[in-house]
Amino acid sequence: MEGFALTKLLRCLFPSQLSSSCVFGFPYSTRNILPKTVSETKGCEGCPMRKLFPDNTFVAPQFPTGKDLVRIAIAEAAGEDEAKVGKPLVGGAGRWFDSFLRHAGIERSGLTIANCIQCRPPKNIFPTDSDARTYISKEEGKAAVEHCLDAHVYPLLASRDWRRVDLFGEKALRYIAGKTSGISHYRGAPLRFNIKGRELAGIATLHPALIARDQTMFPVVINDLKKSLEIAPENYNPTPSLETVRAFRPKKVALDIETKGFTKEILCVGFCAERYKAICVPFRGQYISEIKEILLNAEVLITHNGIQFDLPILFGALDIEW
Ligand code: SF4
């Protein structure tokens, strides 16, 4: 018994020696495996998706070729190309994912990559989505996702001290970080969460499939991937009084707008003229003319992707010549 425990410990200390035995509950080798079906995959036993689609490819998590297992990316579910190749985040969405990594200066070969579910749902409709009722019941859809997380994802996340977990899209945000209010609420913010007793930190950003349809937010994703997980000493004022906004007239100011969903309807404008100090001015009532005064008074405006998005929308709404 002691010898067995020691062998397990040694395997953990020397990951290159890992075999397919369970190590701290994680049931795979960190060597990448050849594609196989879900019915050939032990961890899928008892999952409603396996009962319905036994020949689905099991798209196992992809491990880095180096030894530096510190950063992991979690997306949603395998798509058509992933199921063909047996690797997560390849094909159309994968090309956008690779482009994110290139622009953010991250080596794909140094990343571990997984999905919330490791097989392709019909028409890429996630089993808990209401549209999935065409192929799975509500109860079984929920059970399938929980089974996949319990069998394949949570053990992987709990298996080591990941320095950073990048969550791509709403499903990863919900099922890994436990946040249910939507990606637009949490995108880009440092998150802390606990998986099976292990404290993890990460950032959620947009799914590459979304960027494939609309590239407006591409720079935002790059920014999220490069963001520090450290929570800076903040002095943010999310509800400034009208007096505070009237007194805010810097010559050089950084700004960012928030719009409703992906429309042009402005909800608020964030301004920052000093490190760690920002105000968020609602785009309504008397605040609107103050926002215009801030812009007209400033000699230098700093934005991220502002030429393409923030400034044309903001200047248009305020009737400032562009
Ligand atoms: S959802 Fe997950 S556990 Fe279920 S069959 Fe697919 S890969 Fe296996």
The C-alpha atoms of residue 243 and residue 238 are separated, in whole angstroms, by: 14
Q: What is the pLDDT of residues 46-76, one digit of tens each?
A: 999 999 999 999 999 998 887 667 999 999 9
| 183 and 64 belong to one structural domain | yes
Domain annotation covers residue 129: yes
| 269 and 250 belong to one structural domain | yes
Task: Give the DSSP letter string of 105-120.
Answer: T--GGG-EEEEEESSP
Burial label for 153, CB within 10 Å (0-12, 13-18, 19+), is buried
Structure tokens at 65: 């070729």
Domain annotation covers residue 297: yes
Sign of CA dihedral 244, 249, 250, 254: positive
Q: Ligand 1 atom 6: the closest Cα is on which residue?
A: 119
Ligand 1: residue of 37, 39, 40, 50 to mutate (most ligand atoms within 8 A of CB) is 50
| 64 and 186 belong to one structural domain | yes
Atom of ligand 1 nearest to the CA of 48: 4
What pLDDT sits at residue 3? 37
| 30 and 136 belong to one structural domain | yes
The C-alpha atoms of residue 303 and residue 84 are separated, in whole angstroms, by: 41
- CATH at residue 281: 3.30.420.10
| 90 and 41 belong to one structural domain | yes
| 178 and 269 belong to one structural domain | no
Neighbours of 13 (CB within 10 A): 8
**Cβ contacts of residue 214 below 8 Å, gap of 6+?**
262
Domain annotation covers residue 155: yes
| Bridge partners for 72 per DSSP | 112, 165
* Final residue belonging to a domain, choices 209, 226, 243: 226
Q: What type of residue is 197? A: G
Q: Of 272, 270, 276, which is closest to residue 310 (Cα–Cα)?
A: 270
Q: Ligand 1 center to residue 231 CA distance, Å?
A: 36
Q: Cβ(77) to ligand 1 under 6 A?
A: no
| 169 and 82 belong to one structural domain | yes
The DSSP element (H or E) to which 209 belongs, if any, is: helix 208-213
**Domain span holding position 70:** 11-226
Q: Ligand 1 center to residue 62 CA distance, Å?
A: 16
Q: What is the pLDDT of residues 140-185, one digit of tens each?
A: 999 999 999 999 999 999 998 999 999 999 999 999 999 998 898 8
Q: Ligand 1 atom 5: the closest Cα is on which residue?
A: 50
| 40 and 173 belong to one structural domain | yes
pTM here? 0.69
| 212 and 79 belong to one structural domain | yes
Domain annotation covers residue 5: no
Burial label for 193, CB within 10 Å (0-12, 13-18, 19+), is middle
The C-alpha atoms of residue 7 and residue 45 are separated, in whole angstroms, by: 27
Please give the chain's pLDDT, 322 residues, in tens. 333 333 333 333 333 333 333 333 455 555 656 668 999 999 999 999 999 999 999 999 998 887 667 999 999 999 999 999 999 999 999 999 999 999 999 999 999 999 999 999 999 999 999 999 999 999 999 999 999 999 999 999 999 899 999 999 999 999 999 999 889 889 998 999 999 999 999 999 999 999 999 898 999 999 999 998 877 777 889 899 999 999 999 999 999 999 998 788 999 999 999 988 999 999 999 999 999 999 999 999 999 888 888 999 999 999 998 7
| 163 and 289 belong to one structural domain | no
Q: Ligand 1 center to residue 27 CA distance, Å?
A: 14
Q: Cβ(44) to ligand 1 under 6 A?
A: yes
The C-alpha atoms of residue 210 and residue 217 are separated, in whole angstroms, by: 9
- What domain count does the chain have? 2
Q: Of 305, 293, 300, which is closest to residue 223 (Cα–Cα)?
A: 305
Distance from chain centroid for Cα 73: 8
Q: Cβ(144) to ligand 1 under 6 A?
A: yes
Q: Of 91, 144, 152, 103, which is closest to residue 122 (Cα–Cα)?
A: 144
Domain annotation covers residue 6: no
The C-alpha atoms of residue 75 and residue 147 are separated, in whole angstroms, by: 17
Domain annotation covers residue 175: yes
